[in-house]
Amino acid sequence: MNLQVQAIVSGVKKIGPDMLISGFLQPIPDLSPVIPQADEISALDPTVSPYDTKIISFYKTWDPYGALSNFSPHPVRMPDEDGTYFMWSSVEHYYQAHKFVGVDSPLARDFVEQIKLAKSPEEAARLGRKLQRENPELVRPNWESVKIEVMYRALKCKFSMHPHLKSMLCSTAGSVLVEGSPHDLFWGGGREGEGLNYLGRLLMQLRSEILKENSKLKANSS
């Protein structure tokens, strides 16, 4: 049996003509298909029929459904560590900065501020990834276990703050949402559906919650 692994590099040192790379290995999780299994579709969003599936793909912000992307220029007002609210320029700004939030280091706090002030979501993404790659010791130790929760908090804020985006999201009811990144196999769907598509899954979960809440409000008002 073959086991895929990915290396987490923690240090590089030159010894004579050779390079000593230190770090550790961890298994790469099995990749699920973009379209979940029938029972999983129902769990994510009961409005989606697994037997007559329509796919809505989004990636670039200028796509028809591009506003679903983290890179859409829609600010989110979220609290800092001390409870003070700050208006982040985009979901991507918030997500990338939170790789370093809570780390007891002046440098990590400086990274958060740098990402906060990034001029665009694309710059925030480049900066966050670069700082993570070059300073792995300053990434919060629980990042892999909390990053989905961090993303979901920001998404909920985005679609609650911008009613027209909430309407757009609800208009996709019954469809599977796929973040069409060909490179990001965690948040995106990959080139041939080999990605985990977690962004699409979170959006479908949020859509289901919004639709349920809307139904309750209608029932209470009737």
pLDDT digits (tens, 9 = 90+) for 75-108: 999 988 778 899 999 999 999 999 999 999 999 9
Q: Are residues 98 and 152 located together in one domain of the fold?
A: yes
Taking 60 as the threshold, does the pLDDT of residue 8 lie above it?
A: no
Full-model pTM: 0.77
Q: Are residues 194 and 220 located together in one domain of the fold?
A: yes
Q: Are residues 156 and 114 located together in one domain of the fold?
A: yes
Among residues 160, 188, 205, the one where a domain terminates is: 160
Residue 68 lies in a domain: yes
| Count: domains in the chain | 2
Q: Please, which pLDDT band fits residue 43 given cuts at 50, 70 and 90?
A: low
DSSP track, the chain: ----EEEEEEEEEEETTEEEEEEEEEEPPPPPPSS--HHHHHHH-TT--TTS-EEEEE-STTSTTGGGSTTSS--EEEE-TTS-EEEESSHHHHHHHTTSTT-S-HHHHHHHHHHHT-SSHHHHHHHHHHHHHH-GGGS-TTHHHHHHHHHHHHHHHHHHH-HHHHHHHHHTTTEEEEE--SS-TTTS--SSS-S--HHHHHHHHHHHHHHHHHHHHHHHH-
Residue 18 lies in a domain: no
Q: Are residues 128 and 70 located together in one domain of the fold?
A: no
Q: Which domain holds residue 202?
A: 32-74+162-222
Q: Are residues 88 and 196 located together in one domain of the fold?
A: no
The pLDDT, as a whole number, for residue 137 is: 97
pLDDT digits (tens, 9 = 90+) for 156-209: 999 999 999 999 999 999 999 999 999 999 999 998 888 999 999 999 999 999
